[in-house]
Amino acid sequence: MPIVRAVGLSKQVETGDARLTILDEVTFDIAEGEAVAILGASGSGKSTLLGLLAGLDTPTTGVVSIAGTNLFELDEDGRAVLRSQLVGFVFQSFQLLPALTALENVMLPLELAGAAGAQIRAQAMLERVGLDARVRHYPKQLSGGEQQRVAIARAFVREPRVLFADEPTGNLDSATGAQIIDLMFELNRERNTTLILVTHDEAMSRRCARALKLVAGRLSNGE
Amino acid sequence: MTFFQRNSLALRLLWRDWRAGEITLLAAAIVIAVSSLTTVSFFTDRVQRALILQSNQLLGGDLSIISDRPFTSEFAEAARTRGLAVTSALRFPSMATAGGESLLTDIKVVSAGYPLRGEVKLADALFGAERTTRDIPAPGTAWVDERLLSRLSVKPGDSVTVGRLRLRIAALVTQEPDSVIGFINSAPKLMMNDSDVAASGLIQAGSRVRYRLYIAGETAGVDEFRTWAQTRIGAGQTIEGIRDARPEIRSALERAERFLGLAALVSVILSAVAIALAARRFLRRHLDGCAIMRCLGARQSTVVSLYLVHFIALGLVAAIAGCIIGYAAQFALASWLASFLAVALPLPSLAPAIYGLAAGVLLLLGFGLPPLVTLSQVSTLRVLRRDLGLPRAAGLAGYALGFAVICGLVLSKTQDLRLGAFVLGGFVAAAAVSVVLILGLLRLLTQVRAGGGVSFRYGVANLRRHAMANTIQVVALALGMMALLTLTLIRGDLLYSWQATLKPDAPNRFVVGIQAEQVQPLDAFFAARSIAKPVIFPMVRGRLIAINGRTLSSTDYTEDRARRLIDREFNLSWAERPQPDNRIVAGRWWDDPAARIDQLSVEEGIAATLGLKLEDRLTYDVAGSTFEATITSLRKVEWDSFRANFFVVAPPRLLEGLPVSYMTSLFVPSTQTATLNELVREFPNVVVIDVAQIMAQVQKMMDQVTNAVQFVFLFTLAAGLLVLYTAIASTRDEREYEAAIMRTLGASRRQIAATQLAEFSLMGALAGLLAAAGASALGYALALKVLHVPYEANHWIWLIGVVAGSIGIAIAGMLGARRVLAAPPLQSLRRIA
């Protein structure tokens, strides 16, 4: 059974009188442990697709199932629970909570799910991403690369079955970006996580086993 | 861009911002500040105008001399020789009886020609048609007010007895000149003809009569008479003219204006905080627009002037709305406070509205301009890079204009540099202490937060992150809550403490004006009704005229009370033994009064006020004859006991031969009040004063004043809540964004709501704690300094403050932040990131 399945996924938005189609009848499967890139130019709908796959947004039509559960048969809270159990995120702009320390940021998903030993696990995860010296620092005291490492630690600490990464190196210089990508793929291999990576960078997409190419809201034949 | 184009663009921007809800909070802050200011100033303006427009109506003439003894004929003659009209009146408290009921009444005896200025209005029945009269009550008749009719259950045409005289009630007085403000004089009123006084037998030794001479005529003649009279009047006599009309109303008005004005200022200061917060939010929301305008070639000055016009127009519109609310709200103040004034209030002038408009616009500019200036400095690069953030904020120095506006408002309210500085200093100091306290508590909470659950921990983290902004919110809310706690809990406690100092069997009636020949019959009267024979004290009314041979003048003293004591006669008594509740605190009581008669025992409080000490020789004037005696002891008196007590007591023989009357105090159970009516029938000249009634009047007055103050403080609470709401609104984007991240990490709505609940209830608890501390301190100060009662600390106030604060703020906060929970996470992340 595929871990992620999208069937006939469409998203349209009303803009005044007009109807704008952002995604149009997208269908694909992703197998467990696979690394897949969603590739496309700006405005091709790739971030919208990621949002739908993660249940952060609702489609106009179509179905997304993760580990066999249809996301849109659940309510918002049901999707949140599912995310806390199965899904991790890495964003382009890190999206750390500024009020919390690095350690607290990593502990947060564990605590939200009521998991035991949050602090020890978060600490270990931060050591794994090489930030053992920075656990008590606040996001604003960390460099961009360090912040993204915290975000990766936060994503992996729950040992998700699926990791969504939205342009994870978009806000980093190329050397730091390369280190972050290496780290993500290492963790992906170590933990057999399914990696779904949104990028416009062809080079990065080549590191994935497969690339889904979006053109104007549709999957191009180059899949 | 032409002037016209710019203004029209500014107004179009304003309209669009209004439609988009971008300026609702700024407008609300201005409306609250202006309405609270103008409520008070419209009301005080009406009273001021009443004083100006009706000054001779209030005076009853162009000039009036008040005296505590009859005028010699030279005054009236001097006025008549200058071609001036003259009339006189006298006034005293006495008992009026009808149908077996008796009532302490304020009697005014008038002569032909009264009033020389102003009018008396009469009606023939309660709520009947009013008519103006130029007459005075005919001999044998009386005009009474509505309170006397209702309290004695009589109507025009019935009879009422004063002293030995029976008068027919000819009319109901609905308006009269020179009525007096203040609760003491709010006894029911009766006006009668001068020719009936002798027959009533009411004026006897010890009667508290105020004589008044009214003068009217050509200004030159009046001025000349005034100059002449000034050299003739003595102690206990004062001249009032139109210019200095009704000093008691003026000083009451000034006090009310100051107090209510300062109360209103608290809401202005809170509104200023809300304006500053809302303007920062406005800045953040308009950065992009400004960056684009700059890109399209707008100069900094264009951007500034565009938004300046925008702000001034907004300030004016909101301030007009505030003035309208203030105008409506002043009617509420007038309904509580005007009953003390006995003056018909004219409509207010435009001055308070102009004051309100100016204050509104200046407040908006003072606290809105600093972010506005920042707006003009926005980098055009922001068009390309949204993450450039905010231009450098202007900092505290940017708010100099705002501080200046607040200082100006405080000074305009206090009319006194020292008091103004004191108020401002007090406010700044209180704010500083509160800020330090809250920051400390937040730090403490941060230490313990590791122990709490995730919601608590994250709530604390949120509070601490914007420590300064949150502290300002907490202090603002605490101020609003403190005002309410003080007026509800503390006020009740103080009243309770005060009433608790009275014993249940404390005397509840004073009987004064008893004549020497009535002392024996009065004893017999009580004996016949098996009422315990009360101690009857002799009373001699005298004026202190010299200390150690040095003649006194009220101008020797600065304290109001001391001046009054010098100007007025007060009661002396004599006794062989000190009263059981008096304690000698210095010197010795006369053990053998025969040994030396020129001794005095003085109450320590009055001694302190007048600067008297042991061995001082005091000279008294009693009805024209003087005597001298030495202070040989000082006494402490329990005034709260409501037993008869005297400031100055002499040995028995010293006051012999001087005009004397007697008084007593006694406890009359409510079942025996009919006895008092019999007493008044049998001794018609005595005056019975009902302590319970005076207490009820004091309480009613306090209630009305607190209602008025509470009403003004409602604006404070509204402003406090506005600060909270504005602060929530200004961090709403942040909250929404963080909630979205938490949602992507798998947080449920409930978890996010719990986090916010923790944050808001903690904030409310802190504000409640601070409010309880402030209200307790205020209650303590009021008890000790104003009411002179021991203060019973109310521990409930802490619990109520904290619980009510956290529940109230949690509800308000959750309402303000409910949108945060509603938006889908991706939408929030997209919109804000």
Tell me the per-residue pLDDT of B267-290, one tens digit each, with 9 for 90 and over: 888 888 888 888 888 877 777 777
Q: Are residues B390 and B494 in the same domain?
A: no
**Residue B258: band (very low, low, confident or very high) from pLDDT cuts 50, 70, 90:** confident
Query: What percentage of residues in chain B have a pLDDT greater than 70?
Result: 86
Does residue A119 sit at the B interface (CB-CB below 8 Å)? no
Closest CA of chain B from A111, distance in Å = 6
Query: What would you report as the CA-atom Rg of chain B, rounded to the nearest whole angstrom?
Result: 34
DSSP per residue, B269-330: HHHHHHHHHHHHHHHHHHHHHHHHHHHTT--HHHHHHHHHHHHHHHHHHHHHHHHHHHHHHH
Residues of A in contact with B454 (CB under 8 A): 108, 111-112
- What pLDDT is attached to residue B358? 92
Q: What average pLDDT does the segment B197-216 reach? A: 84
Chain A stretch 40-79, residues whose beta carbon is closer than 8 A to a beta carbon of chain B: 51, 54, 56-58, 76-77
Q: What are phi and psi of B537, to 5 degrees?
A: -105, 140
The amino acid occupying position B249 is: I
Same domain flag for B339 and B204: no
Report chain B's mean pLDDT, rounded to a whole number: 81
Mean pLDDT of A129-136: 90
3-class SS of residue B393: coil
Provide the pLDDT for residue B115. 87
* DSSP-assigned letters across all residues of B172-240: EEEE-TT---SGGG-S-EEEEEGGGHHHHT---TT---EEEEEEES-HHHHHHHHHHHHHH--TTEEEE
Rounded to whole angstroms, the Cα distance separating B266 from B33 reads: 9
Say which amino acid occupies B114.
Answer: Y
- The pLDDT assigned to B236 comes to 78
User: Which residues in chain A touch residue B458, judged by CB atoms under 8 angstroms apart?
Assistant: 97, 99-100, 108
Lowest mean pLDDT among A152-156, B128-132, B287-291, B473-477: B287-291
State which residue of chain A sits closest to B749, comparing Cα positions.
A77
User: Does A95 sit within 8 Å of B749, measured CB to CB?
Assistant: no
* Closest residue on chain B to A140 (Cα): B465
Judged by a CB distance cut-off of 8 A, whether residue A80 touches chain B is yes
* pLDDT the model gives residue A196: 92
* Residue B321, in any domain of the structure: yes
- Cα separation of B828 and B623, whole Å? 89
Closest CB to A100 among B461, B743, B747: B461
pTM: 0.67
Given a cut of 60, whether residue B636 has pLDDT beyond it is yes
> Hey, which residues 190-219 in chain A have their CB within 8 Å of chain B?
none
Q: Do A99 and B462 touch (CB under 8 A)?
A: yes
Which phi and psi (to 5°) does residue B218 adopt? -60, 145
How far apart CA B175 and CA B191 sit, in angstroms, is 12
Cα separations (Å) of A104 from A123, B465, B751? 10, 14, 16
Question: How would you class B377 by CB atoms within 10 Å of its CB: exposed for 0-12, middle for 13-18, buried for 19 or more?
Answer: middle
- Map out the domains of chain A as residue ranges: 32-57+74-219
User: In angstroms, rounded to a whole number, what is the distance separating the alpha carbons of residues B210 and B627?
Assistant: 24
Mean pLDDT (whole number) for B432-443: 85
List of chain B residues whose C-beta atoms are within 8 Å of the C-beta of residue A51: 826
The better pLDDT of the pair B133, B341 is held by B133
* B477-518: pLDDT as tens digits: 887 788 777 767 776 776 676 666 666 667 788 888 888 888
Quick one: average pLDDT of B717-732?
Answer: 78
Is B764 in the same domain as B828? yes
- Residue B152, pLDDT > 70, answer yes
SS3 A44: coil
B430: exposed, middle or buried (C-beta count within 10 Å: 0-12, 13-18, 19+)? middle
Residues B89 and B234 occupy one common structural domain: yes
Residue B301 CA to residue A33 CA, distance in Å, equals 60
For residues B600 and B651, what is the distance between their CA atoms, to the nearest angstrom?
7
Residue B574 near residue B536, CB atoms below 8 Å: no
CATH number of A32-57+74-219: 3.40.50.300
B609 sits in which H/E element: helix B604-610
Rounded mean pLDDT of B414-425?
77
CA of B30 to nearest chain A CA: how many angstroms apart? 32
**How many domains does chain B divide into?**
4
| Whether the predicted interface score ipTM is above 0.85 | no
B527 in a structural domain = no
Which helix (H) or strand (E) segment is B90 a member of? strand B85-98
pLDDT band, very low/low/confident/very high, at B134 (cuts 50, 70, 90): confident
Interface contact flag, B745 A85, Cβ < 8 Å:
no
Buried residues in B492-518 as b, exposed as e (16+ CB within 10 A): ebbbebbeebbeeeebbbbbbbbbeeb
The closest CB to that of B826, out of A56, A99, A154, belongs to: A56
Minimal Cα distance from B822: which residue of A?
A76
Work out the angle at residue B580's Cα, subtended by the Cα atoms of residues B577 and B581, and round it to the nearest 5 degrees: 130
Chain position carrying tokens 């950065």 = B287
Size of interface A-B (CB pairs under 8 A): 76
**Cβ pair B353, B38 in contact under 8 A:** yes
Is the confidence at residue B635, as pLDDT, over 80?
yes
Contact B746 A99 (CB under 8 A): no
Which whole number is the average pLDDT over B129-144? 90
Helix ranges restricted to H, B114-195: 146-152
What are the pLDDT digits (tens) for B332-383? Answer: 888 877 666 656 678 888 889 999 999 999 988 888 888 777 776 666 555 5
Tell me, yes or no, if A111 comes closer than 8 A to chain B by beta carbon. Answer: yes
Distance CA B502, CA B133 (A): 47
Task: Give the pLDDT band (50/70/90) at residue B618.
Answer: very high
Residue A100 CA to residue B469 CA, distance in Å, equals 18
pLDDT at B503: 64
Q: Which residue of A has its CA nearest to B826?
A: A56
Q: Are A92 and A166 within 8 A, CB to CB? A: yes
Specify the long-range contacts of residues B808-811, CB closer than 8 Å, at least 24 apart: B808/B764, B809/B477, B809/B724, B809/B760, B809/B761, B809/B763, B809/B764, B809/B767, B810/B757, B810/B760, B810/B761, B810/B764
Distance from CA of A161 to the nearest CA of B (A): 14
DSSP 8-state secondary structure symbol assigned to residue B344: P
* Confidence category of residue B182, pLDDT binned at 50, 70, 90: very low
Mean pLDDT of chain A: 87
CB-CB contact of B379 with B391 (8 Å): yes
State pLDDT tens for residues B567-609.
Answer: 777 788 988 888 888 889 989 888 876 778 889 999 988 898 8
Residue B25 near residue B725 (C-beta atoms within 8 A): yes
Please report which confidence band the pLDDT of residue B183 belongs to, taking 50, 70 and 90 as the band edges.
very low
pLDDT band of residue B181 (cuts 50, 70, 90) is very low
Q: What is the pLDDT of residue B72?
A: 87
Residue B98 sits in the same domain as residue B184: yes
Cβ contact, residue pair B461, A108, below 8 Å: no
Domain match, B85 and B223 both:
yes
Residue A221 has what DSSP assignment? T
Distance of CA B757 to CAs B438, B727, B813, Å? 19, 16, 8
Instruction: Assess if residue B672 is contained within a domain.
Output: no
b/e B536-552 (16+ beta carbons within 10 angstroms → b): bbbbbbbbbbebeeeeb
Q: Specify the range with the lowest mean pLDDT, choosing from B188-197, B373-382, B489-498, B742-751.
A: B373-382
Q: How far is A104 from chain B (nearest CA, A)?
A: 9
What's the rounded mean pLDDT across residues B202-226? 86
Give B-chain residues touching A76 at CB under 8 angstroms. 743, 749, 824
B747 contacts A80? CB cut-off 8 A? yes
CA distance B380 to chain A (A): 21
Which of B745, B828, B831 has the most A C-beta neighbours within 10 Å, making it the best mutation to test the interface with A? B745
A159 touches chain B (CB under 8 A): no
**B167 and B210: one domain?**
yes
Both B390 and B325 in a single domain? yes
Cis peptide before B115 (omega within 30 of 0): yes
* Residue B246: predicted pLDDT: 57
Sequence-distant (6+) residues with CB within 8 A of A166 are A47, A50, A89, A90, A91, A92, A198
Instruction: Determine what percent of chain B falls in helix, strand and coil, rounding each to the nearest 5.
Output: 60, 15, 25
Q: Is the pLDDT of residue B86 over 90?
A: yes
Contacts of A109 in chain B (CB under 8 A): 745-746
Q: Is residue B782 part of a domain?
A: yes
**Range of the structural domain that residue B137 is part of:** 63-241
Look at A122 and B687; give whichever has higher pLDDT: A122
pLDDT at A142 over 60: yes
Please state, in angstroms and rounded to a whole number, the distance separating the CA atoms of residues A107 and B747. Answer: 13
Residues of A in contact with B739 (CB under 8 A): none
Predicted confidence at residue B785, as pLDDT, reads 66
Residues B361, B381 within the same domain = yes
Beta strands in chain A (DSSP E): 4-15, 18-30, 35-40, 61-66, 69-70, 87-90, 162-166, 194-199, 210-215, 218-219
What residues of B are in the A interface, CB distance below 8 Å?
454, 457-458, 461-462, 464-465, 738, 741-751, 824-827, 829, 833
Does B184 have pLDDT greater than 50?
A: no
Place of tokens 């739908």: A52
DSSP states of B531-597 as a string?
Answer: PPPPPEEEEEEEEEEEETTEEP-GGG--SHHHHHHHHS-EEEEE-SS--TTEEEEEE---SSTTT--
- What local confidence, expressed as pLDDT, does residue B290 receive? 72
The pLDDT assigned to B185 comes to: 47
- Do B829 and A95 lie within an 8 Å CB cutoff? yes
Cβ <8 Å between B746 and A83: yes
Q: Which of B387, B415, B443 is the last residue of a domain?
A: B415
* Whether residue B76 sits in one domain with residue B25: no
- Asked if residue B226 and residue B90 are part of one domain, the reply reads yes
pLDDT at B188: 85
The DSSP bridge pattern shows strands B63-67 and B237-241 to be antiparallel
Q: Which residue has the higher pLDDT, B420 or B536?
A: B536
Domain assignment of residue B518, yes or no: no
Residues of A whose CB is below 8 A from B751: 112
Residue B517 lies inside a defined structural domain of this protein? no
**Cα A57 to Cα B88: distance, rounded to the nearest angstrom:** 90
The token pair that represents A206 in the structure block: 């080549």
